[in-house]
Structure 1
Amino acid sequence: MHDLISIGELSRQTSLSQKALRIYDARGLLRPACTDERTGFRYYGREEIARSRRIALLRAIGMSLEQVGQVLDAPDGPSAAALVAQYWRHCEHSHHARVPLVAQLQEELMTGTQSTFALAHRTLPEQKVISIHGYADAAALPTFIPQACEELFDLLRKERLPLAGPPFVVFHSLVSEDAPGVVEVCAPTEGVVAPAGRIGVRLEPAHAEVYAAVRAADRSYPSVLGAHHAVAGWLQGHDRALSGPAREIDHPNSLDPTPDALISDVAYPHLCGRACNTLPTTAWPDPRWTDR
């Protein structure tokens, strides 16, 4: 016991609160060297002191408790360092993705204008689509969407059916970093096709929509929120009621990595009204798809 220190002393040495140390104990991140059976007091040795300081550093760079645990449980130093490097690359990417949002917000606050996005309006006919529903948060979308698209394309190839328009993703509920939601990946087609496995078949209703084209640099979350904010804000400002959930629609060049390439649209279906006459009207189907 002479080489052990109390939880209060450990808190003073590491700047971790006693509450945090108890949470780390409960989560299995930092067990005390021993606990007095009579009083319940926790005591910590040199190994626990070193581990607590490492936890403090990992928390200081913003890691969640789950991520901290993964680093602490890594089999060796290089593996732990690789996890930290991976986490920090994600942080840098996320920070970079927020830069356009900061600029957009500053512009709106300074000028009172709602958006610098060029908005347009179009009317879409009824479409038959094959689709896959999933439940995903923002971090899972870059994996879920391509996988679902490939499954849909495989079915079209198997049935020798055409892709009759741009693939699109419908957001049936809120999707964010903290809130997973229902997402539907859709591929328009023609001809007879039956449901297969998790792939369903439905008719996408005819509708009018307001949309904004999105650059490759802004497609990922959270940058793409700027386009959603612009379209939704315009509709709200012009008293246009939504007739369906938001969606993101691929352009034929959707994989173009050129930062300024326009690769997708953020679109919101709405109930028609004269207010839409203030926006440019574009044709459907997009000639970029019909010319393929």
Structure 2
Amino acid sequence: MDEDLVTIGVFARRSWLSPKALRLYERQGLLLPAAVDEHNGYRWYREEQLETARLIARLRRLDMPLTAVAAIVAAEDPQTRADLIGDYWSTQEHATAVRRELVTHLRRRLLDDPEGFTMYDVKVRDVPEQTVLTEQRHVKVQELSPWIDEATGRLLKSAAGHGDGIVGPCFIIYHGEVNEDSDGPVEICLPVDPTGPVDAAVRVEPAHREAYTRIIKAQVGYPQILSAFDAVAQWVSSQGLPVSSSPREVYFADFGAAAPSDEVCDVAFPLD
């Protein structure tokens, strides 16, 4: 046996991984022993495998799944490894931010706390008349996000050949309640140049005033976004203002590129 080989017990102590974990990573093809005794099944590892083993141990302390760990270990370029770790952590931070907002929403609902809505800054603005490409569908909440992505892609493709293209932020109108039991309908609207050729469903969204509040990306998910809708509705009611049309979400930022704490959306109620 080579002198630089060590037993699985010694390797486990020096790598901060248990023998059980090392056997699991062997089965996963993540960290293979340098040698296995064909008679007694003893496993042996080389000194130079310690760096990989210690990297695996540190990554697992991040609760990183084995598939993600395997991708990082397989990457030969240090920059690629660093980028993969950064991407993973960004995803985890976003998920944590979303859960934090969901906890806040659930606590507010359970405690029936009207004062909790004071965290939302509600303002009023004028919105000019807009020509919009539109797509509408009855859809329940579990189907909402995939449909929004697909429909927005279709509208963007249509807008590319529509005059000067997009001239305002995309907005989503909820003509009816959308949840696990109700299906709207929901309408996606993409403002375009009114002089362009019509190659999709198009209509005019009338000029109006609207009450709105601005929210961050982590607050957009369902059901926590309902807190923003409740806050604007409560503010409108407290001001004695009549609502003239269906509530909506107005997306003014690059949602995919935004961080969890970036402002991306206005929840708005048109007013008479």
**Alignment TM-score, normalising by the size of structure 2:** 0.59
- Residue 245 of structure 1 corresponds to which residue in structure 2? 246
- What is the rounded CA distance, in whole Å, between the counterparts of 2:258 and 2:103 in structure 1? 18
- Residue 32 of structure 1 corresponds to which residue in structure 2? none
- 1:72-91 equivalences under 5 Å are none
Change in CA separation of 1:229 and 1:113 when aligned onto 2, cut-off 3 Å: same
Q: Which amino acid aligns with 1:159?
A: H
Change in CA separation of 1:95 and 1:179 when aligned onto 2, cut-off 3 Å: farther
Q: Which has the larger radius of gyration?
A: 2
Contact 1:170 1:247 in 2 (8 A): yes
- What is the rounded CA distance, in whole Å, between the counterparts of 1:205 and 1:269 in structure 2? 10
- What is the rounded CA distance, in whole Å, between the counterparts of 1:164 and 1:267 in structure 2? 19
Contact 1:214 1:264 in 2 (8 A): yes
Contact 1:168 1:186 in 2 (8 A): yes
Q: Deviations over 1:114-134 (max 9, x none)?
A: 431111110011111110011
Deviation of 1:254 after TM superposition, in Å, equals: 2.4
Deviation of 1:252 after TM superposition, in Å, equals: 2.2
Q: Deviations over 1:211-270 (max 9, x none)?
A: 011111110110100100000111111111101100000022322342111111100001
- 1:34-45 equivalences under 5 Å are none
Matching of residue 176 in structure 1 with residue 153 in structure 2: no
- What is the rounded CA distance, in whole Å, between the counterparts of 2:238 and 2:217 in structure 1? 27
Alignment RMSD (CA, Å): 2.5
Structure 1 portions without partners, runs of 5+: 1-91, 272-292
- What is the rounded CA distance, in whole Å, between the counterparts of 2:267 and 2:209 in structure 1? 13
- 1:1-292 equivalences under 5 Å are 98-105=102-109, 109=113, 112=115, 114-193=117-196, 195-196=198-199, 199-271=200-272
Deviation of 1:100 after TM superposition, in Å, equals: 2.2
- What is the rounded CA distance, in whole Å, between the counterparts of 1:117 and 1:103 in structure 2? 16
Deviation of 1:102 after TM superposition, in Å, equals: 2.6
Contact 2:213 2:268 in 1 (8 A): yes
- Count residues with an aligned counterpart: 177
Structure 2 portions without partners, runs of 5+: 1-95
Deviation of 1:162 after TM superposition, in Å, equals: 1.9
- What is the rounded CA distance, in whole Å, between the counterparts of 2:220 and 2:116 in structure 1? 22
Q: Percent identity between the aligned chains?
A: 27
Q: Which amino acid aligns with 2:263?
A: L
Contact 2:162 2:198 in 1 (8 A): no
Question: For 1:136, what is the secondary structure of its paired residue?
Answer: coil
Deviation of 1:139 after TM superposition, in Å, equals: 1.0
Q: Which amino acid aligns with 1:100?
A: T
Change in CA separation of 1:135 and 1:156 when aligned onto 2, cut-off 3 Å: same
Change in CA separation of 1:212 and 1:107 when aligned onto 2, cut-off 3 Å: farther
- What is the rounded CA distance, in whole Å, between the counterparts of 2:182 and 2:101 in structure 1? 19
**Alignment TM-score, normalising by the size of structure 1:** 0.55
Contact 1:121 1:211 in 2 (8 A): yes
Change in CA separation of 1:108 and 1:116 when aligned onto 2, cut-off 3 Å: farther
Deviation of 1:176 after TM superposition, in Å, equals: 0.9
